[in-house]
Amino acid sequence: MAGQTHASGARHRVVIIGSGFGGLFAAKALRRADVDVTIVSKTGYHLFQPLLYQVATGILSEGDSLIVTAGADQSYFGNESFADHAPGMKSIDDALELRARIFGSFEIAELQDEPEVARAWMTFVLVGAGATGVEMAGQIAELARDTLRRDYRHIDPRQARVILVDAQTAVLPTFHQKLQRAAARRLEKFGVELQLGVKVVDMDAGWVEVEDPDGTRRRIQSWCKVWCAGVAASPLGGQLADQAGAETDRAGRVEVNPDLTLPGHPEVFLVGDLITLDNLPGVCQVAMQGGKHAARQIVRRLEGDESGQPFHYFDKGNLATVSRFHAVGDIKGFRLAGFPAWLVWLGVHIFYLIGFKNRVTTLFHWAITFVSGGRSERTATLQQVFARRAIRREAELRAELEEARRAAGPTQPGDVAVTPSDDR
Ligand SMILES: Cc1cc2nc3c(=O)[nH]c(=O)nc-3n(C[C@H](O)[C@H](O)[C@H](O)COP(=O)(O)OP(=O)(O)OC[C@H]3O[C@@H](n4cnc5c(N)ncnc54)[C@H](O)[C@@H]3O)c2cc1C
């Protein structure tokens, strides 16, 4: 294929923002095209988000045309103060912080003289019963019941309470009712308490306040909370939409054209969790197929075909793991639950892991965990628990200092200049 060059003679360049599923699969789809590809990403790695919960619970250890696949962040629906007490799970840092909080809670419970206080440290509240919430609840229940049962003298980890809260009345709201019930049964068999139709209205370090369907409010004493509800598209989406005069939905996802381009900008493609189009779900396949579609569109254009092909999502199905050897799945209407679904889940996740080494090390870790029930990745540090808030607090202090400097106006001769130190 003749290389497309600009008048300047430079080769056509494709810039991809984001190294997630959308970005990676767009780049892979362009590898044979005669274009220069640049990936700009906040992180220097590709994060396989579907297995983050395994890092958090100690099973695993720690890349012209524009394609924007900047994904989504956590949303607390306006209750930003909740973030201090209930971390989400969107990044490696989140997963490591959660691991330190989960394992740390058992350690602190072991040191308590008062049973009530120990109980609050061994009460885990997960907010949001989607796939991530269900996966995390199942893992923490397994940790308490199996992995840690012989690890302590004063506490019995099997007494831990794992509470999964959701304002909706069923777990896994995007799955078929039959699978919702199968997942709920399995969780309850593992001792997970399902509090459905219940809203979280407030929280602090040591408790969560919830509102029951009849409006009554009550507090759950708990020091370890996980936020598995709500996503907000990356702010980059909103900035692009503002500049292009495009619409966004309540979660900040950008309304794109059927061919995934930004309205008014055929050279800009938006892919994955950042977009809203035909109610497509926020899952890997939408990002991967969208990335490939954008890449194909660019190649078609370089071949002179300017007609924008609409993006067609091929739904390969939905899978969620509930606990060891148990998952639920809906593959083209074929509904599976239990061990068979878990085998499909295992195969699909190994298949999509990038690179041979990742596949082998993951299989090795899984062998340890799924066969022995042990977990090899249990290192937890205080820094992992407090770093996120310390970094945020430092940024706030910098902003306050900058504000004070601006308010103080230009320095006078003889004034001592005060600048924030750059040695982090
Ligand atoms: C815990 C968890 C479990 C999940 N499990 C599943 C599952 O089992 N199955 C499934 O299908 N889906 C699952 N998902 C959803 C799935 O991971 C997402 O739908 C998918 O990652 C979206 O791909 P993306 O490319 O749009 O964004 P992402 O994969 O999130 O990638 C976004 C990329 O953009 C980068 N970035 C963000 N902002 C900027 C910026 N301003 N500048 C430069 N770079 C930036 C980020 O660093 C990242 O590299 C899960 C998600 C989570 C959080």
User: Residue 235 CA: which ligand 1 atom is closest?
Assistant: 41
Q: What pLDDT is stored for residue 59 in this prediction?
A: 55
What tokens does 386 get?
């407090």
In this structure, which residue's CA is closest to atom 31 in ligand 1? 20
- Show the tokens assigned to 255: 């309304």
Q: Which residue's alpha carbon is nearest to atom 17 within ligand 1? A: 49
Distance CA 387, CA 307 (A): 49
Domain-wise residue ranges, the chain: 12-75+232-302, 82-228
CA of 409 to the centre of ligand 1 (A): 43
The residues carrying an active-site annotation are 135
- Return the best residue to mutate from 21, 55, 89, 94 for the ligand 1 pocket (most ligand atoms within 8 A of CB): 21
Pocket perturbation via mutation, ligand 1, pick of 54, 67, 283 by most ligand atoms within 8 A of CB: 283
- The structure's pTM equals 0.84
Smallest CA separation from ligand 1 atom 7, residue: 50
In this prediction, residue 414 carries a pLDDT of 64
DSSP class per residue in 26-71: HHHHTTTSSSEEEEE-SSSS---GGGHHHHHTTSS----EEEE---
Helix pair angle (177-189, 131-142), 10° resolution: 20
Q: Rounded distance, CA 211 to CA 200, Å?
A: 6
Instruction: Give the architecture (CATH level 2) of 82-228.
Output: 3-Layer(bba) Sandwich (3.50)
Separation of 396 CA from ligand 1 center, angstroms? 27
Positions of the chain with pLDDT under 70:
1-8, 47-48, 51-63, 354, 356, 411-424
Q: Read off the amino acid at residue 141.
A: A
Give the pLDDT of residue 51: 67
Q: What is the Cα–Cα distance from 77 to 316, expressed in whole angstroms?
A: 30
Considering only CA atoms, which of 134, 126, 137, 209 is closest in space to residue 173? 134
> For position 338, what pLDDT does the model report?
94
Q: Do domains 12-75+232-302 and 82-228 have the same CATH topology?
A: yes
Cβ(97)–Cβ(388) below 8 Å: yes
Residues with CB under 6 A from ligand 1: 17-23, 40-43, 49-50, 52-53, 69-71, 89-90, 131-132, 234, 236, 272-274, 282-285, 287
pLDDT given for residue 268 in this prediction: 93
Question: Which superfamily is assigned to 12-75+232-302 in CATH?
Answer: FAD/NAD(P)-binding domain (3.50.50.60)
Ligand 1 center to residue 114 CA distance, Å? 42
pLDDT at 201: 97
- Of 136, 150, 154, whose CA–CA distance to 224 is shortest? 136
Tokens coding 44: 């220097």
Provide the pLDDT for residue 416.
53
Q: By alpha-carbon position, which residue is closest to atom 41 of ligand 1?
A: 236
- Give the atom of ligand 1 at the shortest distance from the alpha carbon of 273: 26
* Residue 245 CA, ligand 1 centroid: distance in Å: 25
Confidence at residue 75, expressed as pLDDT on a 0 to 100 scale: 92
Ligand 1 center from residue 233 Cα (angstroms): 10
CB 333 within 8 A of CB 175: no
For residue 19, which atom of ligand 1 is closest to its CA? 49
Alpha carbon of 100 to ligand 1 centroid (Å): 23
Task: Give the residue whose CA is nearest to atom 12 of ligand 1.
Answer: 283
Atom of ligand 1 nearest to the CA of 349: 8
State which ligand 1 atom lies nearest to the alpha carbon of 90: 53
